[in-house]
Chain A
Amino acid sequence: MYINGASAISPLPVFDAMASGISFIPGEGNRLTATEPAYNNLIDPKLIRRMSRVIRMGVATAMDALRQADVSNPDAIITGTAYGCLEDTGIFLKRLVENGEEMLTPTAFIQSTHNTVGAQVALLLKCHAYNNTYVQRAQSFERSLQDARLWLTEHPGSSVLVGAADELTDYSYGLLERFGLYRHQAGGEGAAYYLVTDTASEKSWARVDRVYTLFDPGPQELQELATTLEQEASGQIDVLLSGEEEMDYNADQYAKVSSILGGGLSVIRYKKYCGVYPTATAFATWLAAWWLKAGKVEVEGWQLLSPRRILVYQADPSGYHSFILLSAC
């Protein structure tokens, strides 16, 4: 599966990376907010005003990925979101409580539905194609990628728009903080979409080789999968884009995976740039594809030329592990 267009909005300003490059500056504070671009060139300003953040971030990255790949009407639109449209959910819930279930208006309810992002993309494109939304917590993006790959095997030669979007709101930040999620690493959010096909083209950024998931694996299970990946990559994984956080509960598991992947491996932790959120792997995948396309990994004064393979690995505190292996093409 080849990435022919990729767009991300994240606390790290990356949306205009093609024009301005990326300055890798870790986010400050305990809540990282996405750096949103000027949307006017991508979406009708009248529509943007009505969209919540997660919807406009999702729609803008989807449109941008399509534009890059020069595709106007994809054959499938697949979206992952762990939390869904939290801002609209919060608005409707607050009014419901405060007004005692009376005098409510429909807009927030309508836009709170989990498949709103994918639906809005279809609506803007007038695209009647297959449209699905996965909400499996920290594997929502991975399940979307797996569906994209399955779709491409079923429909050779087609093009699939696949991505993920999640937002952090005042309510969700307050709640998830109480669960201890941001004790050692800032909370985050973001959106990323990709246009993928089954054949390479001159537009291709990178190839997605493998998408593996595990749930709450034992040491043996984790070791076996990491070993399989190492073998499948013929020992050529140069960089591990690691979801490890400060004082990570899963530090041992991250250590185990990086030790299996071998001595020459460089480990880069991505959550200091995008913050903690379940679909952060969609941002990390964008970063991996960006570096593979550029032919060099360059971050905070450190450089690696001609990377061949980059592995995105995340072990979420709820037990969701995922491995996305990308290679240069």
Chain B
Amino acid sequence: MQQAVYIAGRGAISAIGKNRKENLEALKKGETGIGSIRYLSTVHAGLFPAGEVKADNEELSKIAGWTGTNSRSSLLGFIAAREALQEAGLMEGNKVRHTVSGKRLKIGLISSTTVAGMDLTENFFPAFLENRKAGKLRMVRQHEGGATTERIAQALGIRDYVNTISTACSSSANAILLGARLLKAGELDVVIAGGTDALSKFTLNGFNTLMILDQQLCQPFDQNRRGLNLGEGAGFLVLVGEKAAELLGGNYRVRVAGYANANDAHHQTASSPDGTGSFLAMKGALEMAGIAPDQVGYINLHGTGTQNNDSSESIAIERVFGNRYPAMSTTKGYTGHTLAACGGLEAIYSCFSLEQQLLFPCLRIQHPVIETPGVVVTELRTVSGLQHVLSNSFGFGGNCSSLLFSLRYSCI
């Protein structure tokens, strides 16, 4: 039960790049991927900026090597999961390699999604509303969250264990959390864990009814923030236990040292004023890792840019860290809020910070929510001795998760 969990591979696709490397470059340059909506067909295209992946479904199909009608969520998820498996040396042609050094590995896929195939369903629906016999059924085949994951699993050739989590914006953090638990319990040898969400009219309009969308480029963790910009993408990690790490021979530098999920139990969509859920999640992750608050060097915030989240999250941070704040920033200003994908993407960005000893700045900050100088990172910052990074993901239904990533070897 006590084995360590390492990160053996990472795959990212978002508004700031179609792979890991492009994402890293944009973060280093401070380039946002948010802009006018070009790919989603919506009447709000001119009104709300969004972080779209810069490719239409045809281009994504080409990248994936897929044919037929597929949800954009499935396509994005597959592209990111495949990249993560490639980095881990677990792809053989188009399929996952199950045998390493003559040993059969038990491999699981834990994806997460909130949109799933809604991008197709919402275009099927007008005809269906007119006539219940109308509309092409292939447009709704991937409607269910599980069906999106099933499509990805089928393409990768994964059958040992397939699962999907849907807990709103903390979904992929919970996928990583479950993956780590299954590895520690010895139920699986390798887990591909993360999440995927395409932009859809359903979510764009839904967030619009909540009146939390910013009509300008969002300014998360700024005192003058106006709301969030939605984004889309997918982020997946390949997690391995000690046995698989040894077989794969990788000298993995980052491990999942702690995690916790807690419920705010305050409101279906709003966070509590005292940040109880976020506080418990952060505290739980630190306790599991056996880390004192002052050992955390950086927090990748949930930081969506809504009044409510950023205020609740900063209060929760104060409750955990007192006035000894670690450095912190949110990357939502680059990608937009990618919902079920954000925990996966931000886990990868946290790995970048640990490996490169780099803190990526919040974009467009004028008056940071936490005013103590230097706490909210506003310019690319090179650091040394960064050992532990906390990544927060909070969602509807009070669902709060924190993950703690640690460098395996101390770097002095």
Contact = CB atoms under 8 A, between A and B. Distances in A.
A318 B146 CA distance: 11
Contact of B147 (A106, A137, A154): A137
A129 B167 CA distance: 14
B163 A134 contact: yes
Contact of A82 (B122, B144, B208, B264): B144
B184 to A, nearest CB: 8
Contact of B201 (A82, A101, A126, A215): A101
A56 interface: no
Contacts of A133: 165-167
A283 interface: no
Contacts of B395: 115
B265 A128 contact: yes
Given A123-B398, A178-B133, A132 B165 contact: yes
Contact of A109 (B132, B140, B209): B209
Interface stretch (B16-24, B123-131, B294-302, B366-374): B123-131
A22 interface: no
B4 interface: no
Contacts of B44: 101
A93 interface: yes
Interface in B154-172: 159, 162-168
A119 B210 contact: no
B163 A116 contact: no
A96 B163 contact: no
Contact of B263 (A104, A119, A154, A179): A119
Nearest to B150: A137
Given A84-B145, A101-B201, A132-B165, A126 B265 contact: yes
Interface string B252-270: 0000000011111111110
Given A93-B122, A104-B205, A127 B167 contact: no
A110 B167 contact: no
A112 B166 CA distance: 12
Nearest to B264: A128
A114 B150 contact: no
Contacts of B163: 134, 136, 139, 143
Contact of B122 (A83, A96, A109, A179): A96
B174 A132 contact: yes
A43 B205 CA distance: 31
B206 A122 contact: no
A38 B360 CA distance: 55
Nearest to A120: B268
A174 B127 CA distance: 13
A94 B129 contact: yes
B208 to A, nearest CB: 7
Interface residues of A, number: 57
Contact of A101 (B42, B145, B162, B266): B42
Given A115-B399, A215-B159, A106 B210 contact: yes
Contacts of A300: none
A313 interface: no
A127 B265 contact: yes
Given A96-B202, A132-B165, A125 B43 contact: no
A261 to B, nearest CB: 24
Contact of B166 (A97, A115, A318): A115
A220 interface: no
Contacts of B165: 132-135
Given A137-B144, A154-B181, A216 B159 contact: yes
A123 B43 contact: no
B78 to A, nearest CB: 17
B277 interface: yes
B74 to A, nearest CB: 14
Interface in B371-412: 395-399
A104 B122 CA distance: 15
Contacts of B209: 104-106, 109
A136 B149 contact: yes
A200 B147 CA distance: 37
A153 interface: yes
Contact of B43 (A102, A139, A215): A102
A264 interface: no
Contacts of A178: 133, 137
A174 B206 CA distance: 25
A140 to B, nearest CB: 7
A13 interface: no
B261 A123 contact: no
A119 B168 CA distance: 11
Contacts of A123: 265-268, 398
B227 to A, nearest CB: 14
Contact of A132 (B121, B178, B276, B280): B178
B185 interface: yes
Contacts of B261: 130-132
Contacts of A93: 121-122, 125, 202
A132 B145 contact: no
- Among A93, A94, A137, A178, max chain B CB count under 10 A is at A93
- Among B162, B165, B166, max chain A CB count under 10 A is at B166
A113 B339 CA distance: 12
Contacts of A7: none
Given A131-B399, A135-B146, A110 B129 contact: no
Contacts of B126: 97
Given A96-B201, A101-B42, A128-B262, 5 more contacts: A84-B144, A110-B396, A118-B397, A125-B265, A130-B263
13 contacts: A84-B144, A97-B122, A97-B126, A101-B201, A101-B205, A106-B206, A111-B268, A127-B265, A128-B277, A131-B399, A134-B163, A153-B1, A175-B140
Interface of B: 1, 42-44, 114, 121-122, 125-126, 128-129, 132-133, 137, 140, 144-147, 149-150, 159, 162-168, 174, 178, 181-182, 185, 187, 201-202, 205-206, 208-210, 260-269, 276-277, 280, 395-399
| Pairs A-B, 8 closest by C-beta atoms | A119-B397, A109-B206, A114-B166, A137-B146, A106-B209, A135-B145, A136-B146, A122-B263
